[in-house]
Amino acid sequence: MLVQKKQTHWEGILQAIQKSYAIKRHIEFFEWLKQDIHPLMRHDALLAAWGDFSTGELHFDVSSAIPEMSTQRLLEDSAIVNYLMCNLYKRWVENDEKWFVINRFDATGIHAQSPNPFTQQLIKMHSLMVYGVRDTRGKSDCIYVFFDRTKEFHVPDQMLGMIMPHLDAAIRRIGHLKPVIKDEDLLDSMAQGGLSDREQEILHWVRSGKTNLEIGMILSISANTVKNHLKRIFQKLDVSCRAQAVAKTGLSNGARRPN
């Protein structure tokens, strides 16, 4: 029975590695974590941070089924999480760049300094695991922090050595979300047409080619809610489909506003 359990465990690892090669989009990465990695290494949220840790100029990507723990929510107020990631990076360096675990993690102080939806969920996490990747060529090191609500984080060392390089490669292929909408990306006619801020956000991601499911993940709402927003957008713009909405605002992919 024990031999069979170990065999199943290694089969799961090899299957996860094989499936990682096909990941090209955020939704595929999210599903891979949920279906293939979570059974091997339980966690409630994965936070990736990369950039220049010496200056604190970081980028973030969050993957979690918890609505408030999203990249969008984090970027609304990232200063305190930025500080946390720099601190964890420093500890990783001091630990000879080896992964480490912090059990009975207490984030109440973080939430007290920056109370927001993201840190409200962070205080419910009681353990974490930090895995770092040194980027010698690109000068953009990265740390992956797995958060979990249990008081102790358990993970086999051998499994990390096999899985994490493939996780790192997958997330680098899909890049990172940039949910901030620039003013120059929105035509004045959109605001005059009565689109709300949320509707403008959704239309922004439609222009980027995102599906309803992907937009829902980015904005921490359901795909059905995205669908309802799109119906109202179509009504306001007097169109019947996504392509018409994009064309009417003059912002089809690759198009630029005239100077």
Longest dimension (CA), the chain: 70
Domain boundary among 174, 196, 213: 174
Is residue 71 within 8 A of residue 60, CB to CB? The reply is yes
CA 214/CA 223 separation, integer angstroms: 8
> Residue 254's pLDDT band (boundaries 50, 70, 90)?
very low
- The mean pLDDT value for 34-55 works out to 92
CA 141/CA 134 separation, integer angstroms: 5
Residues 6+ apart with CB under 8 A from 250: 187, 257
**148, 187: one domain:** no
Residues 6+ apart with CB under 8 A from 67: 220, 221
Give pLDDT tens digits for 115-158.
Answer: 999 999 999 999 999 999 998 877 789 999 999 999 898 877 77
| CATH assignment at residue 191 | 1.10.10.10
pLDDT for 215? 86
> Residue 197's pLDDT band (boundaries 50, 70, 90)?
confident
Q: Which of 111, 141, 183 is nearest to 50 (CA)?
A: 141
Instruction: For residue 56, count other CB atoms closer than 10 A to its CB.
Output: 12
pLDDT for 2? 44
**21, 108: one domain:** yes
Give pLDDT tens digits for 95-116.
Answer: 999 999 999 999 999 988 889 9
Please report whether residue 257 resides in a domain.
no
Is residue 99 within 8 A of residue 160, CB to CB? The reply is yes
**94, 117: one domain:** yes
CA 118/CA 76 separation, integer angstroms: 9
DSSP 249: T
Is residue 148 within 8 A of residue 126, CB to CB? The reply is yes
Q: Which of 112, 58, 64, 113 is nearest to 87 (CA)?
A: 58
- Which class for 43: exposed (0-12), middle (13-18), buried (19 or more C-beta within 10 A)? buried
Region of 58 (left: φ > 0; alpha: ψ -120 to 50; beta: rest) is beta
Q: Which of 71, 27, 25, 32 is nearest to 49 (CA)?
A: 71
Please report whether residue 238 resides in a domain.
yes
Residue 61 sits at φ, ψ, to 5 deg, of: -145, 130
Residue 56 in this model has a pLDDT that exceeds 60: yes
- Provide the percentage of residues in the chain whose pLDDT is more than 70: 85
CA 83/CA 140 separation, integer angstroms: 17
> How many domains does one find in the chain?
2
> Residue 185's pLDDT band (boundaries 50, 70, 90)?
very low
Please report whether residue 37 resides in a domain.
yes
- The mean pLDDT value for 1-12 works out to 63
**128, 22: one domain:** yes
The domain in which residue 225 lies consists of 183-248
| CATH assignment at residue 30 | 3.30.450.80
**57, 18: one domain:** yes
> Residue 61's pLDDT band (boundaries 50, 70, 90)?
very high
Q: Which of 133, 169, 143 is nearest to 46 (CA)?
A: 143
DSSP 144: E
